[in-house]
């Protein structure tokens, strides 16, 4: 049985009648022009009286990994009945599902609510049962606040977000698909009984990131937005060199790196979606790109509110779940020494007093049981990545015509899963959409319906927080849960009673300028100052002898001092530790917040063979293992790397040797048996200078690949000038044209490693 709608602009549509609504599925809203190309808006009719459009069947998904739905179910904690395999299509995936209350009168105009699904930017679809809007619309009818529900598919993964100069594209196809979707609604929604001038958008996780990004654009798309558990800071837009690095990464995975530019273009267009997706990591780290006229800049915490409060969006509501970082559990939080790792990150990021406050606020201790540590680390990560952006959106200190409200979700997930007892990521949507209704308790059902009622009032223009709920003298927030309750409390009271005052603490640390590129953060600093500590053997090296030097460091807290140490000129012998005069000096330097100790290693392909330089590297490893004082070094400085054809393999071997000494990429200081992120490894922090360079651009590329991508050396500097000691010529003063190209390649290589940890199991 079907229900036919004579749509004035689309033609006759056969919808699927449901108890309280009619659902129109698989309606095309955009034309797929080609891979890595912007789609075009679907304007004209899709049916005629002689051939009505069958809108009773789900449309295909946009291409993605086959079992993506199971990733989403895993975050929820339980599954719903679903198809064994969902049809996918690159050509027909851009379709929309529209759910309309039954019995609308001619000319009636209901508020329209658009759902933007999440899924790490790589999975998701409007036909997944957990995101079906039928129950949501039915609840609106029962509550006498009927709305029309809309859900678009959009392109995902590299097929929806990859950008490259070689492809002559700018990416952002998935985001622009949604833009076309909103434009399509404004053209056709009135034929379904919707109000084109009253559209509310809501998205969760990656859907919230997408929605937050669209709020930066200049084109009016909707009237209100509900941003749930995500913002543009959670995965900031990529700048050009990041996208170029991702592109190189992709063509390497697809075995296209040795082909010509034209051959790569043809192959990338010819390969089937399955051929592309199957050779890439399932959760490849894709995202929006900076693009002039669309997404103009990277969003930080301090800019999110100003850029979010666009003049065309009338009202914004934003919030989080108390344990949103549950989605990072398997990737970060399950580490057996998570507390130790987080403590080290905090100490290396903040000044000692602030670090101490933060460690105390989150009760972080390496002596706590692992489950307790996991929850505390989860709360810290949630606050940094989700709670802090919410706070900055509300309290950005700028004037705006957009009204902004906030909520916080504290109802624990009760499914028998690893999330039980946690107000976990995605559980708020589970309650709001009510597709798990048969599995929910009466308390959870009631809370979900109360959440929906607030969203419906929001869509009707009555405010996310009504006038009678808003106190005259203070800001208030909506709190959903625990115990199935909805409360309206003052913002300061909420932070104090339910977040232990951590919001106030985090805001006071001055992290507003950060883009938060991964899961952790670091203090913003100015350009570093590099100095060398080399002492004559007779120099007295007690700490007070270094007072003028340390006074310079402490007087300039915004400057990073990279201190280069040479064991052969003072602090200790090969394989040993520094002598007793040097140990307190190095320990004191390590205790300062704006210092890095860099170990000097000499090199020369003709006179310094591996048996000579290896002990120097081993020496610094021994320093890291010293238990009496903290005398670890933060990186290695490799000197005198003259380039010629015969020396290239020498330096690649040199880099590999440093890699081998890292004990399976462990953090050589503080916790030598804990696998640490790339940023804590010596390779990331070492700098290599190559002088007397007489190679070609291809030689540079090969060195960059060999020492950068393969062995992941962090910084490489090169000059073609020749050292002339007789004239005191400084070869590092010259900036040859090749250096600019080479420097850009190294930066892109290093950033690619940081931005795509999934490509390396050891990171």
| DSSP line for 629-688 | S----SEEEEEEEE--TTTHHHHHHHHHHHHHTTTTTB-SSS-TTSB--GGGSHHHH-EE
User: How would CATH label the architecture of 3-299?
Assistant: 3-Layer(aba) Sandwich (3.40)
Top CATH class, 529-759:
alpha beta
- Taking residues 542-561, report their average pLDDT: 59
Judged against a pLDDT cut of 70, whether residue 339 lies above it is answered with yes
Residue 252: predicted pLDDT = 87
Mean pLDDT estimate for the chain: 78
Q: How many CA atoms lie within 13 A of 260 on its CB side?
A: 2
CA distance 86 to 551: 65
pLDDT tens per residue, range 570-622: 455 655 777 776 777 788 888 887 787 877 777 665 556 767 767 777 777 77
Of 549 and 75, the one with more pLDDT: 75
Q: What ranges do the domains of the chain cover?
A: 3-299, 319-508, 529-759
Judged against a pLDDT cut of 80, whether residue 738 lies above it is answered with no
CA distance 391 to 122: 28
- Whole-structure pTM value: 0.68
**Sheet holding 561-565: strands in order across?**
529-533, 561-565, 595-601, 635-642, 687-691, 715-718
CA distance 101 to 191: 13
- Taking residues 505-514, report their average pLDDT: 62
**In which band, very low, low, confident or very high, does the pLDDT at 352 lie, cut at 50, 70 and 90?**
confident
Tokens representing 520 are: 């952790």
Tokens representing 607 are: 């006179």
Residue 555: predicted pLDDT = 61
Of 200 and 697, the one with more pLDDT: 200
Cβ atoms 465, 405 nearer than 8 A: yes
Residue 675: predicted pLDDT = 41
468 pairs with which residues across the strands? none
| DSSP line for 408-420 | EE-PPP-SSSTTT
| DSSP line for 319-371 | EEETBGGGGGIIIIIT-TTHHHHHHHHHHHHS-HHHHHHHHHHTT--TTS-HH
Selection from 186, 136, 152, 130 nearest residue 21 by Cα? 136
Judged against a pLDDT cut of 70, whether residue 669 lies above it is answered with no
- Strand, coil or helix: 47: coil
Q: Which among 326-335, 481-490, 579-588, 682-691 has the top mean pLDDT?
A: 481-490
- Taking residues 551-577, report their average pLDDT: 63
User: CB neighbours of 485 closer than 8 A, spacing ≥ 6?
Assistant: 447
pLDDT tens per residue, range 41-66: 998 899 999 999 999 999 999 999 98
Tokens representing 36 are: 């890595």
CA distance 595 to 583: 16
Q: At residue 198, what are phi and psi to the nearest 5 degrees?
A: -145, 75
- Taking residues 180-190, report their average pLDDT: 97
Pick from 121-130, 147-156, 336-345, 719-728: least confident: 719-728
Considering only the C-alpha atoms of the chain, give the largest distance between any 2 of them, rounded to a whole number of Å. Answer: 100
Pick from 138-152, 546-560, 723-737: least confident: 723-737
Tokens representing 88 are: 């996918």
Judged against a pLDDT cut of 70, whether residue 558 lies above it is answered with no
| DSSP line for 306-317 | HHHS-TT--EEE
Residue 134's H or E segment, with its range, is helix 134-142
Q: Which fold has domain 319-508?
A: Rossmann fold (3.40.50)
Same fold yes or no, 3-299 and 319-508: yes
- Strand, coil or helix: 693: coil
Pick from 126-140, 638-652, 727-741: least confident: 727-741
Cβ atoms 746, 708 nearer than 8 A: yes
């Amino acid at each position: 049985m079907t229900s036919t709608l004579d749509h004035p602009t689309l033609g006759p549509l056969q919808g699927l009648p449901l108890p309280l609504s009619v659902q129109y599925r698989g309606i095309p809203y955009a034309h797929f022009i080609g891979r890595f190309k912007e789609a075009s808006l679907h304007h004209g009719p899709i049916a005629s009286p002689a051939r009505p459009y069958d809108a009773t069947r789900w449309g295909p998904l946009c291409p993605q990994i086959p079992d993506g739905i199971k990733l989403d179910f895993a975050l929820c904690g339980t599954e719903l009945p679903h198809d064994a395999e969902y049809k996918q299509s690159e050509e027909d995936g851009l379709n929309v599902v529209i759910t309309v209350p039954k019995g609308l009168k001619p000319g009636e105009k209901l508020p329209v609510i658009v759902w933007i699904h999440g899924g790490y930017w790589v999975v998701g679809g409007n036909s997944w049962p957990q995101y079906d809007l039928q129950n949501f619309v039915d609840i609106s009818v029962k509550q006498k606040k009927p709305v029309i529900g809309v859900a678009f598919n959009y392109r995902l993964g590299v097929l929806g977000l990859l950008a490259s100069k070689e492809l002559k594209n700018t990416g952002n196809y998935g985001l622009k698909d949604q833009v076309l979707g909103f434009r399509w609604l404004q053209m056709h929604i009135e034929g379904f009984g919707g109000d084109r001038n009253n559209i509310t958008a809501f998205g969760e996780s990656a859907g919230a990131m997408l929605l937050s990004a669209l709020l930066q654009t200049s084109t009016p798309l909707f009237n209100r937005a509900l941003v749930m558990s995500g913002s543009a800071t959670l995965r900031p837009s990529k700048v050009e060199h990041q996208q170029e690095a991702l592109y190189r990464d992709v063509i390497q995975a697809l075995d296209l790196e040795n082909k010509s530019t034209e051959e790569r273009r043809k192959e990338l267009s010819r390969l089937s979606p399955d051929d592309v997706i199957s050779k890439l990591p399932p959760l490849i780290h894709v995202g929006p790109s900076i693009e002039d006229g669309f997404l103009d800049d990277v969003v930080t915490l301090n800019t999110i509110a100003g850029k979010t409060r666009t003049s065309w969006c009338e009202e914004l509501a934003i919030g989080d779940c108390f344990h949103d970082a549950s989605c990072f559990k398997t990737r970060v939080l399950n580490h057996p020494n998570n507390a130790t790792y987080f403590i080290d990150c905090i100490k290396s990021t903040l000044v000692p007093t602030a670090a101490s406050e933060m460690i105390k606020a989150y009760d972080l201790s390496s002596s706590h049981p692992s489950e307790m540590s996991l929850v505390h680390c989860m709360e810290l990560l949630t606050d940094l990545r989700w709670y802090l952006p919410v706070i900055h959106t509300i309290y950005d200190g700028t004037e705006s015509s957009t009204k902004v409200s906030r909520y916080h979700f504290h109802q624990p997930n009760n499914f028998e899963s690893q999330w039980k007892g946690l107000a976990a990521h995605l559980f708020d949507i589970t309650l709001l959409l009510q597709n798990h209704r048969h599995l929910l308790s009466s308390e959870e059902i009631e809370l979900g319906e109360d959440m929906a009622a607030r969203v419906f009032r929001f869509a009707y223009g009555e405010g996310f927080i009504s006038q009678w709920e808003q106190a005259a003298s203070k800001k208030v927030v909506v709190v959903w849960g625990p115990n199935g309750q909805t409360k309206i409390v003052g913002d300061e009271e909420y932070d104090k009673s339910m977040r232990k005052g951590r919001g106030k603490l985090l805001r006071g640390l001055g992290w507003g300028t950060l883009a938060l590129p991964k899961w952790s953060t670091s203090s913003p600093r100015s350009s570093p100052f590099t100095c060398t500590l080399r002492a004559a053997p007779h120099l007295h090296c007690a700490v007070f002898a270094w007072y003028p030097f340390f006074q310079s460091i402490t007087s300039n807290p915004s400057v990073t001092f990279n201190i280069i140490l040479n064991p052969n000129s003072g602090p200790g012998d090969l394989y040993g530790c520094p002598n007793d005069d040097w140990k307190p000096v190095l320990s004191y330097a390590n205790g300062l917040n704006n210092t890095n100790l860099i170990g000097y290693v000499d090199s020369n392909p003709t006179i310094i063979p591996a048996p000579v330089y290896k002990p120097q590297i081993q020496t610094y490893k021994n320093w890291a293992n010293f238990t009496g004082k903290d005398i670890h070094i933060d990186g290695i400085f490799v000197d005198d790397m003259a380039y010629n054809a015969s020396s290239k393999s020498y330096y690649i071997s040199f880099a590999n040797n440093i890699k081998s000494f890292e004990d399976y990429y462990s953090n050589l200081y503080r916790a030598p048996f804990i696998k640490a992120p790339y940023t804590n490894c010596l390779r990331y922090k070492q700098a290599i200078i190559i002088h007397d360079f007489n190679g070609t651009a291809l030689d540079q590329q090969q060195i960059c690949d060999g020492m950068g991508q393969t062995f992941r050396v962090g910084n490489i500097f090169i000059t073609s000038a020749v050292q002339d000691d007789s004239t005191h010529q400084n070869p590092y003063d010259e900036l040859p044209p090749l250096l600019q190209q080479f420097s850009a390649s190294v930066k892109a290589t290093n950033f690619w490693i940081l931005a795509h940890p999934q490509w390396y199991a050891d990171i």
